[in-house]
Amino acid sequence: MDWLAPIRLAVDAVLPPRCPGCGAVTGADHEFCAGCWSQLRFLAPPWCAACHTPFTVDRGATARCARCIAAPPAHRGVRAAVGYDDLSAAMVLRLKYGGHYALATTLAQHMARMLPEDATLLVPVPLHPRRLWGRGFNQAGEIARALGKIGGVAVDPHLLRRVRATPVLRGLGGGARLAAVDRAFAIASGRAAAAVGKAVVLVDDVYTSGATTAACTRVLLKAGAASVTILCWARVIAQSAGD
């Protein structure tokens, strides 16, 4: 557990508001300075109707990217507040490893505009118990809690479990990523009824290849969820993804 968390919260309460990106003094909590605001790439249509990969040109509301035409996803799309870059990544790292818990609220505030109107349950992507013990908290869980307060949607941080430790997926190929997360997630014992009929929003910090969220989606749909939408702070977008 992170025993320094109360101290950090007390310090944050007496210090002046600072930009979540660079630390410059700002006028209000969670407010970006002009430089950081202009650097962030806020995502919005036009995008693929199935996975929400941004398009460079508007192809119409029902247009799908080549990947989704070839293999339609089981989820209802990946919604992200911003594109993944050095700034958005640094904020995630400060939350995960620097203990800057207020950043969970900052990220959630910008993710809230992407929250589906019919969402009935927020479920964070879980950490393996060993990693949770070492870090002291699940960053996706903290973001989900903040998002639930902002959007007025119920949060279940314990519905999904990571039952098998998985390696870091960075640097692995597509097949290796899928193999790494195969059977790594499960519904918590006695909790399956909590997913039945729900429009679930699966919450995470960063979306990369989609292997982890695809594995979670399969488990949630098998448990009876009506739908699953992915919602994250930042999304890695290949340069040619929307061309």
| Residue 206 predicted with pLDDT over 80 | yes
Q: Is 151 contained in some domain?
A: yes
Residues of 154-171 as b/e, b for ≥16 C-beta within 10 angstroms? ebbbebbbbeeebeebee
The share of the chain scoring above pLDDT 90, in percent, equals: 65
- Helix/strand/coil for 54: strand
How far, in Å, CA of 99 to CA of 9, rounded? Answer: 10
Angle between helices 139-151 and 102-111 (to 10 degrees): 50
Query: Strand 227-235 to strand 78-83: parallel, antiparallel, or no bridges (unpaired)?
Result: parallel
Element at 234 (helix H, strand E): strand 227-235
Q: Is 4 contained in some domain?
A: no
CATH code, domain carrying 173: 3.40.50
- In order, the DSSP letters of 185-227 are EEEPTT-GGGTTT-EEEEEEEEESSSHHHHHHHHHHHHTT-SE
Question: pLDDT for 128-186, tens place per residue?
Answer: 878 778 778 899 999 999 999 999 999 999 999 988 766 555 654 555 566 566 777 99
Residue 17 DSSP one-character state: P
Q: How confident is the prediction for the chain on average, in pLDDT? A: 87
Q: Is 53 contained in some domain?
A: yes
Q: Is 117 contained in some domain?
A: yes
Which domain range does residue 214 map to?
42-235
| Residue 238 predicted with pLDDT over 90 | no
Maximum average pLDDT range among 5-9, 15-19, 65-69, 180-184: 65-69
| The pLDDT value given to residue 98 | 82
How far, in Å, CA of 100 to CA of 29, rounded? Answer: 13
Question: Are 202 and 232 in contact, with CB atoms under 8 Å apart?
Answer: no
Mean pLDDT of 51-76: 92
Q: Is 139 contained in some domain?
A: yes
Question: pLDDT for 76-127, tens place per residue?
Answer: 999 999 999 999 999 999 998 887 888 999 999 999 999 999 999 999 999 8
Question: Are 210 and 177 in contact, with CB atoms under 8 Å apart?
Answer: no
Q: Is 97 contained in some domain?
A: yes
| Residue 9 predicted with pLDDT over 60 | no
How far, in Å, CA of 142 to CA of 234, rounded? Answer: 16
Mean pLDDT of 55-69: 92
Q: Is 218 contained in some domain?
A: yes
| Residue 1 predicted with pLDDT over 50 | no
Mean pLDDT of 212-222: 94
The share of the chain scoring above pLDDT 70, in percent, equals: 85
> What's the structural domain count of the chain?
1
pLDDT-based confidence at residue 7 (cuts at 50, 70, 90): low
Q: What angle do CA 16, 20, 23 make, to 5 degrees?
A: 60
pLDDT-based confidence at residue 14 (cuts at 50, 70, 90): low
Mean pLDDT of 213-238: 94
Q: Is 31 contained in some domain?
A: no
